[in-house]
Amino acid sequence: MINVTKSYLPPLEEYVKHLEGIWERVHLTNNGPLVQQLEQDLKQYLGIDNLLYCGNGTIVLQMAIKALGLTKEIITTPFSYCASTNVILWENCTPVFADILPDDYTIDPAKIERLITENTEAILATHVYGNVCRVEEIEAIAQKHRLKVIYDGAHTFGTTYNGQSAFAYGDVSTCSFHATKVFHTVEGGLVTSTDPVILDKIQQLRSFGHRFDDYLDYGINGKNSELHAAMGLCLLPRVSDLIAARKERFGLYDTLLDFSELQRPSLRPTVQYNYAYYPVVFRSEAKLLAAKAALEAEQIYPRRYFYPSLNQLPFLKSTQPCPISEDIALRVLCLPMYPDLEFENIEKTCKIINEL
């Protein structure tokens, strides 16, 4: 069975070495030495000084909203995973959906500007499929209207833009280290901020809002454990190789697929890409469904991702029309993409799609 992604695991002995240390120290969580080591190594790898390793890629978004003091309207993208809208609702803010650009499916800065009201406090945008948003234009809008900017960078680990990590942009950037992502710690998340005061606040929120006996604010449990950090320490030195392996598979899809019937999102100039996903957009939803069924008949399981367009989530109290996102979400399918995906399975996948 070929799934859309497959988690990468390090050699077991390497992980066991870390476990032996954990068993000796009997320090399992609460900012232990492996968590601290992973944070140091991430700083080095990403070239970012202000970051925290956390429980997952959702809690970091929630803590970002809380730390920035947001309570009203947040302009966000309809083309993302449901977590990026859920966190806005969970924090009792109102999501306002700005439609996406037709070429790379990231939020359209011109549409953001039209939705700004006196209640707008922030922009929460997603770097889609490992590509990067229009960060300069978003920054200019935020400056002009005094808005905060949060980037959901769950897909962009290892991506650089203008030679800098994608996480260097916005007031706060986040990443998910879930088992299916480019770099993972089974479950895990990252938050970075250009503002040390905000990061300090998030650090406080991460551990229930208290420092020893000082109960400063109502926080949450946003921490992660030594066992999770150990996985990260095994995988981080391999990330460049894993991205290179993805790139090779990406290239094979590019060569073998017949693009007369398919569309692919474009990449921003100066992006050094992490090859996180391989989405293809069909001419119609019917064609997508036919391809999906044909692949599944051969035990190949692509995924409708992102789907649905988040402005159409059934539990929203209010929403905005986003025709481009709604259309792309109906027609986009992510094909299998992971570092040890066999070339013959890519050939098989392409053959099935091309024959339809």
Tell me which residues touch ligand PLP (CB under 6 A): 56-58, 80-81, 83-84, 126, 152, 154-155, 176, 178, 189
Name the residue with the smallest CB distance to ligand PLP. 57
- Minimum CB distance to ligand PLP, residue 156 (Å): 9
Q: How far apart are CA 271 and CA 160, in angstroms?
A: 6
Provide the 8-state DSSP code for 292.
Answer: H
User: Backbone dihedral region of 11: left (phi > 0), alpha (psi from -120 to 50 degrees) or beta?
Assistant: beta
Using the minimum distance from each CB to ligand PLP, give the nearer residue, 46 or 150. 150
- Minimum Å distance from CB 328 to ligand PLP? 15
Q: Given the complex with ligand PLP, which of 257 and 337 has the nearer CB atom?
A: 337
Q: What is the DSSP letter of 221?
A: B
- Closest to ligand PLP by CB, 96 or 191: 191
- Smaller CB separation from ligand PLP, 59 or 350: 59
For the bound state, the minimum distance from the C-beta of residue 197 to ligand PLP, rounded and expressed in Å, comes to 25
Helix (H, G, I), strand (E, B) or coil at 202: helix
CB 95 within 8 A of CB 119: no
Q: Judging by beta carbons within 10 Å of its beta carbon (0-12, 13-18, 19+), is residue 109 exposed, middle or buried?
A: buried
CB of 157 to ligand PLP, least distance (A): 11
Min dist CB 196 to ligand PLP, Å, is: 24
Please report how close the Cβ of residue 195 comes to ligand PLP at its closest, in angstroms: 22
DSSP secondary structure string, 232-268? HHHHGGGHHHHHHHHHHHHHHHHHHS-TTS-B-----
Q: Please, which residue, 120 or 176, has the CB nearer to ligand PLP? A: 176
Q: Which is nearer to ligand PLP, 21 or 308 (CB)?
A: 308
H helix or E strand, kind and range, residue 126: strand 120-126
